[in-house]
Structure 1
């Protein structure tokens, strides 16, 4: 297990963020096809490239996990602290 790596993927409009045994799922845009790359990880804030149905090219998008974690009553600072890298996880479990 990677103790400092988390994984991001989606299944249609459901986004999945996984770190260790914890899996967080949340709804994204209905037209999201897939993430194509993770450009930046900054302690809960992601900059990603995403491919949408309405555009041939991937677009830069931003995901802020802190409010999502807070809404789930997860201590964001404790949960995010060990994560140093986020990778895409299509076809991996």
Structure 2
């Protein structure tokens, strides 16, 4: 990703969510946060709701043909990483699925 892409992503207040090699990846600006995903997660298919660190998403799992609704709370994850959740999350207005 080029510097202009990073800048553009940060300035538009959009974060990106994806699944990669057994991890969930949350990206905003220059930050890329990875945390363990459920073992059978194939991909995220949509973001239904963003509420200052709390996500409601649709996820596709190996054991089910239809997407399932999942919930991700970023605040405790950020806290465990010694990141000030309020400061980090405040500028994010929406989250989209990153398509690789």
Question: TM-score category by the smaller chain?
Answer: over 0.9
Structure 1 regions of 5+ residues with no counterpart?
Answer: none
Residue pair 1:12, 1:33 contacting (<8 A) in 2 also: no
Cα-to-partner distance string for 1:18-70 (whole Å, 9 max, x where unaligned): 00000000001000000000000000000000000010100000000000000
- Structure 1 residue runs of 4+, over 4 Å off? none
Name whichever structure is richer in helix by fraction: 2
Tell me: higher relative CO, structure 1 or 2? Use CA pairs within 8 A at least 6 residues apart.
Answer: 1
Counterpart of 1:29?
Answer: 38
Structure 2 regions of 5+ residues with no counterpart?
Answer: 1-7
**Equivalent in 39, 45, 49 of residue 48 of structure 2:** 39
Largest Rg, 1 or 2: 2
* Root-mean-square deviation (Å): 0.7
**Offset at 1:12?**
3.5
- TM-score, with length taken from structure 1: 0.95
Matched residues in 1 for 2:36 and 2:21: separation? 9
Residue pair 1:69, 1:76 contacting (<8 A) in 2 also: yes
Matched residues in 1 for 2:21 and 2:82: separation? 25
